[in-house]
Structures are given as C-alpha cells and as structure tokens.
Amino acid sequence: MNYTAEDEVLIESHWQDLQRSCEKICRSDEDWNFIKRAYFLAKEAHQGVRRRSGEPYFLHPIAVAKIVVDEIGLGVKSVVAALLHDVVEDTEYTVEDMEHIFGKKIATMVDGLTKMSGVFNADTSRQAEYFRKVLLTLSDDVRVILIKIADRLHNMRTLGAMPQNKQIKITGETLYLFAPLAYRLGLYAIKTEFEDLCMKYRFPKEYEEITRQINETSAAREEYIRKFNAPIIEALDRNGIKYEISGRIKSVYSIWNKMIRKQIPFSEIYDLFAIRIVFQPLEFPSEKTQCWQIYSSITDIYTPKPDRLRDWISMPKANGYEALHSTVMGPDGIWVEVQIRTQRMEDIAERGFAAHWKYKHATISHDEDEFDKWLKMIRTALDSPTESAVDFLDNFKLSLYTSEITVFTPKGEARKLPYGATAIDFAYEIHNKIGNTAIGAKINHKIMPMTTVLNSGDQVEIITAESAKPKTEWLDQALTAKAKKAIKSFIKREQEHNYQRGMQMLEEQLAKLNITPNNRVIRKLITAYESNNKEELYTKIGAGIVSLDNLEKVVKTNSQNKILKFWKLFIKDDDDEGDDANDDKNDKSSVEGANLVVAECCHPLPGDSVVGFKDPLTHQIIVHKATCDELNRLASQHGECIVKDAIQWSQFKTQSSLVTIEIVGIDRMGVLVDLANVVTNDFSINMRQVNIQSHDGIFEGKLSLYVRDIESLNALQERLRRIKGMDSVKRVIN
C-alpha cells in the first residue's frame, strides 16, 4: 500500500525542513548526494507503513535525522545512519545491502542501531539484551549512541499514541538509562526533556499542576530577574565584556522531584531559576581567569554562599562540562544561582559530545581529557561477554554518575568518583588487588573504616593485608560498577571453593554416622541450617558459617514443630497487630482474587498510585509505588511484565502496614507526650518503635507506625505538623 497524495505532501515538507538543517553540515555535492540516496532508499523501504498515530512511518527517521543535526550537532554520516536506522530491522534490506550501497562505516552504524531479534536465552531480559548490543557500539563509534538517543527522543515526543502499559515500559527505560546516558554525554537539554516527558505521561496531573503554577508565577519571576540582573549588567558593560545574560527556570521534573524528595509544596521551592552569563573571551588572559574576574564583579554586588561554589573550570566534569557556579543572596532575601561560562563552554554544555569533539580537534590537543577517560572506562566495563545481560545493564547504569567528587592519592594524583562513593570504591579504582586486600583507609591521615563515605578533596591511602578479603556486605556499601563487579567476582570464586569444600565435609560427616545423603536428609538439613537450597547449605558449611558438630542430633530430630512455626508466620492472629511478628507479614499481604504481593523496596500503602510487575518466574504480581526507582529498572529490563489496569487496592485485605515517619522540631518539655497523644489517642494507631534524640535545643527522630492507608497517614502527618515547635514531618521513602 502506497502513501496517499496528502502523505506525500507531508513527507516532502519534512524533507525540505531537514535539507535546510543540513545546509550547515554539507560541504560538497557528494555530501548532498549521500544524504539524498539514504532518503530515497529509506522512503521506498518504508512505503505505505504507518505509525500507531496514523501518520506515515517515514516521518520518524526524518525527525530523528533532524534531531541529530539540529539538537546534537552531528554530521553527514550520522544523518545518513539516522535516515536508515530502521531499514534493516523493519524491511527486507540487510546489513550487507547497507555496506554494498553506503559503505562499511554506515553499515556498522545501522547494525548497531538495529534492535535485537531472534532467539533470547530463557533467563535473559529482551530489553537488557537489546541495550547490551547498542551500548557495545561505544567500543566502535559513540555516534551510534547519540543517534539512538535522538531516536528515543522522537519516540518520547510522540508517546501519546501508545497504550498506557507501553508508556510505562518506555518511560521506565528512559528514566533508568537514556536520561542518565544523555547527561553523561553532555546532552543536558535532551536529558531534561526526557525527564519532563516521562513525568508528563506517568504523572499527568502533577505535571499539569506544576506547569500551571510555573506559568502563574512567571510575571513576578521575570520582574525579579530584571531587578537582580540590573547591577550585574551595569558592571559587565563597564568592564567592556561582550556577553549574554538570561534566566532559566528549573524543569518541571526537577521541581517535582524536589517536592517528592523533601515532601514540600511548590510554594516552598525557592531556587526555581538560575542566571546564566555567557561571554566572548578575550585572547588574554585565560578563559579561567576571565570567569573568575566576572565572579568577582558579581560578588562585589551580592554576597555569595561559600558552600555553594562549584568550580568546573579547574576540574571539568567527565562529560566535558565546564562552568563556574555560585549561589548569591539576591534582593528580598532570595538565594539565586549564577552560572558563568564562555561561548565555547556553552556550546559543550548544550551540544555535549559533538561540541566537545569539535573544540578538542580544533585545538589539536593530544592530552587524554576527562571525557576520553570516561569512554575508556566504559569500554573496559562493557568488555564482559560472560556477564548476564541484566547484570551488564545494571553495571553500565552504575557508570552513569550524575554527580562527582574528586579525591587524591597519597602522592596527590586526582581521581574522580561518584558522589557518595566510599573508601571501598577508591581502593578498587586504584587496582582490584588493592580492593581485595584492603582492611582500612587513612583519610586525611586519619585511620577510618573502608565503608567511610568520601568527600571531595579528601586524600586517601588504603591499608592492605595479604590475608584480607572482601566482605559480602561491601556490595551494599560500594557505589561504582568497577568495585561491585570485582567484589562479586571474588565472592563467586570464594563461593565455588566453599561449595566444593562444604559438600565434601558434609559427605564425610554423614559417612561417619552411616547416613546416606539422600534428598530427604538434605531437605531436613536445609531447613535446620536456615538455607534456601543445597547450594547455600554447602557454601555455608565450606565457609565455616554452619558447624556440623550437632549433625547427628539435627538429622534424627523430627522437624514438624519448626515447619508449623514457619507457617504460623503467615497466619494473622486477631490480637497480634502490634507484635514484632507482624512486621514482615504486612509486606507480604495475601490478596483475595489475585496473586498479588506488596513490594518490599517501596512499601506502597492503600491509596498510593501503584503499578504491578508480573514476576516471570513465580507469576506473582508485585505491586510497586508508581514513583519507585526499582520499578523503572524493572520496566527497562522486563517491559512486557508491567501490569497497570489490573491493580486495585480493593483487592487487598484491610490490614495495617508498617511505615516510618521522620520528624524534626524545636525541643521543649512535653513534646514526647504530645506526640504519643496524637498517635495513640487521636488516631488509635499502633506504634512499633519510637526513636527521638535531642541536641542543641532541636529534637529529631523516627516513628514506626502501623497505618491502614495513605489517607490515614496523610491525616496523621498533618495533625503532627500542628504540634507546637514541629518543623517537618515526612514519610521515609526507601
């Protein structure tokens, strides 16, 4: 079926628009002919095919090519690859055809952009396997990733035509991988749009409400910006600087994220905007010196906040970002962030990798900069063909840090680590052998545990011992993909050794007792030694965690009482709602009419907005909060298992769930009594645990309570906020 005359007019209009965009990259007739050949082949290949919205499918590759050239700043080959990116996947053309017609480089790029097809391992996620192939192209040509980001951006811009379960899958993938990846490649504007579009489709009411409030306050905000900028403009003009000054508001997603994280209303978001100064530097002095001179002029006018100075000129971010950020006290007691950068820095901030590479080649610099180091690190991390696709994706995600610190070796060598990294991460950053034998760290010449979180500027020396080895709990403390991968690898080797040793030890001990190690005996030992399976049992024995001193007694003891005790954990007594045994039970609520369980990662309450995930192995539907980070990870890897419409809170038995509330306020006599009265007398809520500390006239603490639904929790929090001296009351979100 061919396109209609109206379709042809629409396609021609978009094609003309793309050609206007390509005028800045085409240097010869050869370039134009290259793009036109790709256009006509792709148009013929996609003839008559339509998108779910009903529009001609070929508009999609044209739109992707336009994003590639206009918003990312790539060249002719990237436009050609973008026009052809779905041809091999969706039509009869092959990668070999692409190589024959367009050459090996284009064929390689198109192949990297072609989605996975064929047979997948039963234990492997389709999405993860697809991402693996795309991400591996970083080893060859990073432009493939940039075109893939453009492809995802256009899909996100047209997501409204997709059904809701597909929207959840695609937004989950985008938040989990594509937004951090765009940030890491320096595409800040695209990263921001990804996040805003995800919110628009996942949380439309909240998106519309925040957008409305931003628009309602725009006039007052613009007036304040003019008032703030006036003396700065005067100072810059006086110094003869060529510049542009603008005010930029935070994205809807970042405002909403801060409201969720801090549990505050829109009216309490004070840092809604930032002022940006982009200037044309003189040949002398250096760009860095000129940035600091402008900073000095601004701080002569407004007082800076010392702990909010960010110098990304002396030490740029790994994605190439350079700027000087400072927060100053503006008129009317409002803190305002000021960003200072040159036009070169602005181009890199807006265009990311493409602009970074353009300036790098223009200066003919052969130094290995931060971006090159990051790419080298990623290529090393990707070189792991034996790793499962899901682990691969998780490890890659860990490499997309959104915030960084700089720490120093004993000899003063700078190393970049993600914000929140520990001495464990630093040790493995130096060398895996250092990490595997580490026992402690000297941080700023003071001995500290390996789990200590590092701060920017710390000088770190790792203390080692030949007999030392990584601890399993380090996996929870380590932050970098490199550290986690090395620890897992060591533990796996150790477990394999312990497994063989444990199996041999058990067989020897059973032989001494003349007992045959059959399935009945092994099952009894698994239960007695609190293991999940025989592999765990053997490993515990081999590691010395389980002692076989009482083996004869265990084998010959009737295990009926333990079995009864085990099942009793899942039977609710009428009078045990406040008991400790009720703690985990509430998170594993049995559900009438459906095999649903409440997710332990986010503990949703009745009334929370929720999404279900059908476990491929157990077929249980695990209910997550719609805002859960783990849900985004699952959606990105197992999008086909997302369930939305079938989840109703009415399916759950009405029983209480354990939540934790964090409180802070001004200390006074009787505040604890007031808290207890509100919780127990006003709301008749069972308290499981109270932990409150007072220092310097301030009290802070946590209340663990059993509540039935989100309405009860909200009402309780609102009442607690009215207690005299209370400053903040918020639910602890895991």
| Token pair in block for residue 658 | 């354990």
Given 7, 31, 70, 90, the catalytic residue: 90
H-assigned helices in 437-571: 474-477, 481-512, 519-528, 534-543, 551-556, 560-568
Given 89, 123, 508, 727, the catalytic residue: 89
Alpha-carbon dihedral angle through residues 287, 290, 291, 297, given to the nearest 10 degrees: -170
Active site residue 287: no
The conformational region for residue 284 under phi > 0 = left, psi -120 to 50 = alpha, else beta, is: beta
3-state DSSP helix/strand/coil percent for the chain, to nearest 5? Answer: 55, 15, 30
Phi, psi of 440 (to 5 degrees): -175, 180
* b/e sequence 551-576, b meaning 16+ C-beta within 10 Å: beebbeeeeeeeeeeeeeeeeeeeee
Q: Kindly state the helix (H) or strand (E) to which residue 726 belongs, with its residue range.
A: strand 726-731
β-strand pairing of 303-304 with 310-311: unpaired
| Token pair in block for residue 156 | 């996100």
How far is CA 577 from each of CA 584, 670, 686, 732, rounded to the nearest angstrom?
A: 12, 28, 8, 21
β-strand pairing of 596-598 with 621-625: parallel
- State the residue for tokens 């059973």: 510
Active site residue 584: no
Residues in CB range of 625: below 8 A, 6 or more apart: 599, 602, 603, 604, 608, 609, 610, 611, 631
| Token pair in block for residue 719 | 């009442």
Residues in CB range of 200: below 8 A, 6 or more apart: 207, 252
The conformational region for residue 171 under phi > 0 = left, psi -120 to 50 = alpha, else beta, is: alpha
- DSSP state letters, 379-406: HHHH--TTS-HHHHHHHHHHT--SSEEE
Enumerate the active-site residues.
89-90
